[in-house]
Amino acid sequence: MKYILGIDGGGSKTTAILADETGKILGKGRGGASNYQTIGLENAGQAIKFAAAAAVEQAAENLSVSWADLEGSVAVVAGLAGADRPQDRERLRAALLAQMPVNPIGLRVEHDALVALAAATGNKPGIILIAGTGSIAFGIDRNGRQVRAGGWGPILGDEGSGYFIGRAALTAVLWEYDGRGKPTSLTKRITSYLQVTQPDEIVPLVYQGPLQRPEIARLAEIVLEEAAGGDEVSCRIIADAADHLVKLISAVLSRLDWCEPGIPAAGTGGLLQPENMLWTNIAKALAGTHPQVVFAPPMLPPELGAVLLGREMLDTAVGQEEFIANLRWSIEETSQS
Amino acid sequence: MKYILGIDGGGSKTTAILADETGKILGKGRGGASNYQTIGLENAGQAIKFAAAAAVEQAAENLSVSWADLEGSVAVVAGLAGADRPQDRERLRAALLAQMPVNPIGLRVEHDALVALAAATGNKPGIILIAGTGSIAFGIDRNGRQVRAGGWGPILGDEGSGYFIGRAALTAVLWEYDGRGKPTSLTKRITSYLQVTQPDEIVPLVYQGPLQRPEIARLAEIVLEEAAGGDEVSCRIIADAADHLVKLISAVLSRLDWCEPGIPAAGTGGLLQPENMLWTNIAKALAGTHPQVVFAPPMLPPELGAVLLGREMLDTAVGQEEFIANLRWSIEETSQS
């Protein structure tokens, strides 16, 4: 039997999944952040190793598959945030090879958006739009050409992301307070959520206190709720975020060599849930301006993209469709257990 | 003879000026940053003490005025960034009193915008718009009511500031690169200035490297140059910044009790130089929408605002007009020497 170790590493957590060559999931593990651009190569390697060890441990407990069984028979695929440039991937590859307790059949390092795209489309060409704490769109056309837009981080980009929406909410509250903005129900919701009595008390929370980027991104949930409740300012923030996310897809589309209809585009990330207001705004805009795009939820969760790419590295008799079906079935089973 | 020690403390430097009761400047000193919100109370106190000591030292060298002469005869006024709330000012007052080597006649701590306004209008009601690394508008009406808009820092605000413009320039370069933005001459100027070959190499400079907030703010100069040269994207960035700065003034105006014409509004800060494109955009917009506002450069540089406020604390026979005339005359003289 051959095996696949799929790793999905991001700015806040790392997921590892151990599957066999049929797509059956044997173990799952989690570790801390593994974006080496922000935490360094050594910490990233440690987080990945920790997540991988947890996945193998779970497999050993339940199914008697251990590190020894993986020697010379496991393909490793890692989709890592911050692995944008070839030289980044080469450095990460070397670091992971040095840390891996077994010799893998192969080790492929990709950036996280490519792995999320494979998960979303079932390893077919198309576009992925990710809107979580950050934002990025990434596409691959039928010639294999890869194109990205966005993903430039909280200072230079992340337009339409959770951080973007959360920060816009804080700004809207301060704009109402200092006379620049319209009244908004966000003021009551956010001051109450942050337990402050006046809007200007938000300022030290952001610059000195506990309101860091992930906490600001989490405020996006409140904006979605207030927008659903009809608050005009919240609706404008969500509409603005949707515009930015559509622009990311447009930019990728315009650079891909793909004219005919039926381009699969998947939306994913903590913020982009089917049928919330952000989703419906994007779907409506795309239907109007890019009718050739089919906007839908991803086929598989992003962490299974790495496992799916791992199948290509094995000489397995199990075809891609069957492999995906097995992944879907066994991810549901392991989620329930 | 009585004396005034005027202090202007900001996020990057602190200026101290020692003047006598007639408005004659005896010494000037400089120290590091003194925004206690970002560097702490102790460091802020040290920077102020250092600047004050340098001013007294210069006065001692040239004019035989020493700390001994100041005992019981100096009024101290400090206009400090980060001294926004009454409790901030109280903490700073106590810290400064503890550090001062002489007993002053009085010590007044204000936030920097109030002091800049006093300098701009000659201690009369009006509005000050400050656009440097950050941005804020602040006004006082004839009833003494104080109103501010903006000044919420680089994450929550600073719209229209140097940092805002510099960051917009970096974003414009990345947007051209990833297909979201129009071609702009900023790409060539900024990649060359930052010595990178590709726009995406800007990203690690911002998140890991030497491109911090003040360096990003400094890119605004390039945007002003390219806008003057006709680059459409640069013109849009400057127009957008001007809109935001006008909005700050509007918000202050709408909350001041002041309807009749002739409201003095002064523009100051590193970015707001008379007749540059940002200035002319603001002047034009104000003329259209707020014709009751007289937009002009400040009467005195901001650091003299603290000295001017200090005059009020002395029982001096020199009237305000004469005092201002003396300040203007002697600041020119000390600048030339």
* One domain for residues B39 and B152: no
B130 phi, psi to nearest 5 deg = -110, 125
pLDDT score, position B336: 60
B205 and B250 share one domain = yes
B158 vs B241: CA distance, rounded Å: 10
**Cβ of B252 under 8 Å from any chain A Cβ?**
yes
Per-residue pLDDT reduced to its tens digit, B219-244:
999 999 999 999 999 999 999 999 99
- Work out the number of other CB atoms within 10 angstroms of the CB of residue B229: 11
- CB within 8 Å: A149 and B37: no
Residue A315 has what pLDDT? Answer: 85
Between residues 134 and 173 of chain B, which touch chain A (CB distance below 8 Å)?
Answer: 147-150, 152-153, 155-157, 167, 170-171
Same domain for B156 and B289, yes or no, is yes
Name residues 28-67 of chain A within 8 A of B (Cβ): 37-38
A174–chain B Cβ distance below 8 A for any pair: yes
Euclidean distance between CA atoms B19 and B327, whole angstroms:
8
Average pLDDT, rounded, for chain B = 93
| Whether B105 and B129 share a structural domain | no
A95 is a domain residue: yes
Shared domain check, B108 and B167: no
Note whether A151 and A11 are same-domain residues.
Answer: no
Enumerate the residues of chain A whose CB falls inside 8 A of the CB of residue B255. Answer: 179
CA dist A99 and B119 (Å) reads: 63
CB nearest A157 (choices: B153, B171, B252): B171
Report DSSP letters for B183-252, one per residue: --THHHHHHHHTT-SSGGGHHHHHHTSS--HHHHHHTHHHHHHHHHTT-HHHHHHHHHHHHHHHHHHHHH
Looking at the partner chain, which of A149, A202, A204 has a beta carbon nearest the beta carbon of B178? A149
Asked if residue B265 belongs to a domain, the reply is yes
**Is position A117 within any domain?**
no
Angstrom distance (rounded) from CA A309 to CA A130: 19
> Quick one: pLDDT band at residue B303, thresholds 50, 70, 90?
confident
Question: A1 in contact with B at a CB cutoff of 8 Å?
Answer: no
Q: How many angstroms separate the CA of residue B163 from the nearest CA in chain A?
A: 11
Picking from B37, B41, B84, B156 by the largest number of A CB atoms within 10 A of its own CB, the best residue to mutate is B156
Contact A152 B247 (CB under 8 A): no
The pair of three-digit structure tokens given for residue A191, joined into one six-digit string: 């001051």
> Which chain B residues are closer than 8 Å to A160 by Cβ?
none
**What pLDDT, on the 0 to 100 scale, is given for residue B202?**
94
A263 plus A169 within the same structural domain: yes
Q: Is residue A47 domain-shared with residue A194, that is, in the same domain?
A: no
Q: Which of the 8 DSSP states describes residue A211?
A: -
- Taking the C-alpha atoms of residue B258 and residue B246, their distance in angstroms, rounded to an integer, is 17
Residues B313, B287 share a domain: no
Let me know whether A194 and A214 are in one domain: yes
Chain B CB contacts of A83 under 8 Å are: none
pLDDT (0 to 100) of residue B99: 86
B chain contacts of residue A38, beta-carbon cutoff 8 Å: 207
Residue B117 domain flag: no
On chain A, the residues whose CB falls within 8 A of the CB of B180 are: 149-150, 247-248, 250-251
The pLDDT score that the predictor gives to residue B337 is 53
Least trusted range by pLDDT, from A258-262, B188-192, B211-215: A258-262
Nearest CA in chain A to B181: A251
DSSP A108: E
Is the confidence at residue B311, as pLDDT, over 90?
A: yes
Which residue is listed with tokens 């908004």? A184
Judging contacts by C-beta atoms under 8 Å, the chain A residues touching residue B44 are none
Please indicate, yes or no, if residue A79 is contained in any of the structural domains: yes
Secondary element (H or E) of residue A155:
helix A153-156
| pLDDT at site B317 | 87
Cβ contact B154:B209 at 8 Å: no
State the CB neighbour count (10 A cutoff) for residue B87.
9
Question: Is residue B179 within 8 angstroms of chain A, CB to CB?
Answer: yes
State the pLDDT confidence band at B275, using cuts at 50, 70 and 90: confident
SS3 label, residue B261: coil
Q: Is a pLDDT exceeding 80 seen at residue B9?
A: yes
Q: Which residue has the tokens 């970002």?
A: B38
B260 within some domain: yes
Residue at A118 is within a domain: no
Q: Considering chain B, what percentage of its residues have pLDDT values greater than 90?
A: 77
What is the domain extent for residue A106? 3-112+301-336
Which one of A152, A176, A244, A250 would you mutate to disrupt binding with B, by most B Cβ within 10 Å of its Cβ? A152
Is any Cβ of chain B less than 8 angstroms from the Cβ of A85? yes
Helix or strand holding residue B30 (H, E): strand B25-31
Which of A153, A171, A202 has the CB atom closest to B203's CB atom? A153
Interface predicted TM-score of the whole assembly (ipTM), two decimals = 0.88
- B39: confidence class by pLDDT, cuts 50, 70, 90: confident
Q: Do residues A255 and B179 lie in contact, with contact meaning Cβ atoms separated by under 8 Å?
A: yes
Q: Do A247 and B204 touch (CB under 8 A)?
A: no
Other C-beta atoms closer than 10 Å to the C-beta of A333 total 11
B257 and B321 belong to one structural domain: no
Nearest CA in chain A to B85: A200
pLDDT of residue A337: 53
The nearest CA of chain B is from the CA of A100 a distance in Å of 28
Check residue B152 and give its pLDDT: 92
In a domain, B274, yes or no: yes
pLDDT below 50 — which residues of chain A? none
Average pLDDT (B137-143) is: 94
* Domain harbouring B178, CATH code: 3.30.420.40
Top-confidence range, A331-335, B124-128, B268-272? B124-128
List of chain A residues whose C-beta atoms are within 8 Å of the C-beta of residue B203: 152-153, 156
* Domains of chain A: total: 2
pLDDT of residue B132: 87
Q: Which residues from chain B sit within 8 angstroms of residue A87, using beta carbons?
A: none
**A10, A112 contact by CB (below 8 A):** yes
A294 and A312, same domain (yes or no): no
Closest by Cβ to B254, choosing from A147, A179, A204 = A179
Residue of B nearest to A149 (CA): B178
Q: Does A78 touch chain B (CB under 8 A)?
A: no
